[in-house]
Structure 1
Amino acid sequence: MAQLLVRDLPEALVLALKERAAANGRSAEAEHRLILEEALRSGRNEFRKRAARLRAGTVGRIQGESADLIREDRDSR
């Protein structure tokens, strides 16, 4: 498995990580891993929500493969 080294963190941030880890019964490393996983997972969820909103906004519009639409337009001339 890969490793990640983060340099030059403010001491207050490291302390907050250790306190959060202790409060959750985990090591600082395990807490850090969980924070990264949650942050990156939420990014995907936000993307999915945004994509769903965009799809909802295109209801009723012409849909299909772009190549087919271009061919149809070209052939109609």
Structure 2
Amino acid sequence: MAILTVRNLPDEVHRALRLRAAQHGRSTEAEVRAILEEAVKPQGRLKLGSMLADIGRHLRLSDEEVALINQRDKSAPRAVDLE
């Protein structure tokens, strides 16, 4: 993991960070990590599972259809000949 040093942080910003961290029940360092992570993560990011669930709701799949989709082939994988 990378290490980041922030120099010349105003005292009032540091106090606000400490207060915010206490309100969230974490250390100041953990609070800064959470703030940075939230600031840089893409907006409107959709996870594949959420997208698939939305498609299923849109199609109004029955419980039987969902059960068929969830069936998995539990047999051992076959070797692949790449030559």
State the TM-score, normalizing by the size of structure 1.
Answer: 0.55
2:43 match: 45
SS at match of 1:6: coil
Matches within 5 A, 1:1-77: 1-41=1-41, 44-45=42-43
RMSD: 1.3
Moved over 4 A (4+): none
Rounded Cα–Cα distance in structure 2 between residues aligned with 1:45 and 1:4: 24
Q: What are the Cα deviations for residues 51-75 of structure 1, in whole angstroms up to 9, with x where unaligned? A: xxxxxxxxxxxxxxxxxxxxxxxxx
Q: What are the Cα deviations for residues 16-65 of structure 1, in whole angstroms up to 9, with x where unaligned? A: 00000001100000000000000001xx216x7xxxxxxxxxxxxxxxxx
Rounded Cα–Cα distance in structure 2 between residues aligned with 1:26 and 1:39: 18
1:52 match: none
Higher helix share: 1
1:20 partner letter: R
Unaligned runs of 5+ in 1: 49-77
Matched residue count: 45
Unaligned runs of 5+ in 2: 46-83
Rounded Cα–Cα distance in structure 2 between residues aligned with 1:17 and 1:28: 6
